Structure 1
């Protein structure tokens, strides 16, 4: 495959977009920390750690709820358009939203807009489909170009590129945030680069991204297409169980990671921009270890076993995070989650094997939207639990995530038993 062919693949879009996202994430964390500290100082004269943490977590709760609620209807519409053959649309339109929302953060940094302007930015992002539309569109393309046998590895390969880009971007982001001049305020360069990369990504996906016929129509011909669910109820039950396991795992991971960005900003960690960048980079290292885990273990274990191994890896690591009091302990906890990224792409791979190719988009967007709906409950719950336990055990929410992760392995184990019985039956029929 030539260099130009590689440039025109979906992996290039993922690479550029994730570099931009890594810059934005660090910039957002630092801007929110500084603005919340200034706001509580002005109100109280002097602010306590708890008051700053409550201000930050309240902001993130509203921000995350808006990010997860507003994309629901637009994402469904974009997924249906994608399944009708317009595979670029669920990717291009969300990138427009990314560009607009990142431009709002740049205005907050450079023009002194109030922090609440970011709520408007995240709404624009959501109305364009948000991450759930963008990532479901990416995974639909990957599913359509791959065979069932190599689909899990193909999806993990895209996740690897996503993680490596995030790793590089996060390592650089903390240093870039601190670069400023008399003309440009602190953070302007970092957020400006994020906006620029999203613009490049949008132009690339619009004019250069190559979609071949197989990725438009899927491997099955039109007269073979039988809709979202296969002709027997077995696939329906498997889909329901995979959704249940995926949702529980997303609750555990999403809730824990949302609180982690505030946990890093309080004592005893109290990180600066560089440390935030390094911490985010440690999170993206999990993409690398998860990819190699799939490459090695997939030779000997099933997809279901891979999912359970990944879930247990996260459960152990996030439990240890509850007792972190030093920076080195944070990295130890992160190292225990080395396979935590395996479950989601493998669940998507198993789901895609239950339906026809022309239904990949709507099935995968349904999974993403189920995560969004679940987050409408877990985001405020995790926030309130964290605020209530700040003076007791600040890391209690991480223990909660560990428990929910263990529960998520139950429906996945049931799927494993069902698939094993089906394979045995098919072998007997074949004989």
Structure 2
């Protein structure tokens, strides 16, 4: 508990990811490049997280618990050195004495004002689009993480009764969704607007969730991974859409909001779907997947509202609808 509390004080994983997306957004020259590079971050996370999940068991068996933690700490420290001494700052801010004069209160107020500025500096229509995009992102994150926490339990339970070997094969097949989703974003972003890419990804999620809810055999459960291959696309593209309608100076504050929403959604999804699965497993184990599919349909409706707002204000949100970046 103490370790988790100290980690949370420094921003934990969400702060690292929010900073990474903000850094990428500031480095990109146009909207298409921004979408592709954010999908690249999702690809790296998915591939290396899966590799770590597979290898950690062997590492624990061979070296015990101490060496894996020491190795992780060493890698984090190396990453810290790289960020401090190698990476260059993308936004040059003038030096100010406010932080020194105001102590701890000044930087906290500066952060709060930065988050507030994201919405204050934009028009009402653009603020509405940001809120809708945040809600759609929250729904997608809740469904993806909530069903991921239930999927293994569903496979272990009757009538599938998977062994640990089949669980490993299923997890390995799920990893391919990161690779194919990245390829899908990279290719589709050249010929389709971001909104259409998100809708295709959401349709992929709805399809595999509906199939999983009624799957009773091992063969069908393995086939569920086929429509799952594009399920990673919505999250990075929605991030890119939010970034395109936000001024470059407010990218850090924007992704701080996104990181908060993501952290909250992950916690909500895991708790809610685990409890729901325990309550419904006796009469319909696939109810969680059907509920998640229905929530994703509501996310598609939210994206449709975003598209309607964008089409009604093409001059203001051209970068969001056509894939070109809008300068604030």
TM-score interval (norm. to shorter): 0.7 to 0.9
Matched with 2:69 is 195
Contact 2:310 2:317 in 1 (8 A): no
How many Å separate the matches in 1 of 2:266 and 2:49? 23
Matched with 1:157 is 40
How many Å separate the matches in 1 of 2:5 and 2:211? 35
Contact 1:315 1:406 in 2 (8 A): yes
* Per-residue deviation, 1:273: 4.5
Specify every segment of 5 or more residues in structure 1 that has no aligned partner in the other structure, as ranges. Answer: 1-118, 218-224
> So what's the TM-score if we normalise by structure 1?
0.61
- Deviations along 1:118-162, whole A, 9 cap, x unmatched? x66555544442332221121111111112321000111122222
Pick from 310, 318, 325: which aligns with 1:419?
Answer: 310
Highest RCO, 1 vs 2 (Cα 8 Å, sep ≥ 6): 2
Q: Secondary structure at the match of 1:214?
A: coil
Matched with 2:117 is 227
1:138 and 2:20 equivalent? yes
What is the count of residue pairs matched by the alignment? 293
**How large is the Cα RMSD of the aligned pairs?**
2.8
Pick from 207, 212, 215: which aligns with 2:88?
Answer: 212
Matched with 2:239 is 348
> So what's the TM-score if we normalise by structure 2?
0.78
Trace 1:309-388 onto structure 2 (pairs within 5 A): 309-374=200-265, 377-388=268-279
* Per-residue deviation, 1:327: 3.6
Structure 1 stretch displaced more, 197-206 or 154-163: 197-206
Contact 2:23 2:90 in 1 (8 A): no
Structure 1 stretch displaced more, 305-314 or 129-138: 129-138
Structure 1 stretch displaced more, 244-253 or 226-235: 226-235
* Per-residue deviation, 1:376: 5.5
How many Å separate the matches in 2 of 1:152 and 1:425? 19
Q: Secondary structure at the match of 2:225?
A: helix
C-alpha spacing 1:207/1:401, structure 2 compared with 1 (3 Å): same
Matched with 2:99 is none
Contact 1:256 1:398 in 2 (8 A): yes
How many Å separate the matches in 2 of 1:309 and 1:201? 36
C-alpha spacing 1:236/1:123, structure 2 compared with 1 (3 Å): same
Matched with 1:169 is 52
Matched with 2:194 is 303
How many Å separate the matches in 1 of 2:130 and 2:222? 35
Trace 1:202-281 onto structure 2 (pairs within 5 A): 202-209=76-83, 210-214=86-90, 227-229=117-119, 230-281=121-172
Specify every segment of 5 or more residues in structure 2 that has no aligned partner in the other structure, as ranges. Answer: 94-113, 319-328
C-alpha spacing 1:417/1:194, structure 2 compared with 1 (3 Å): farther
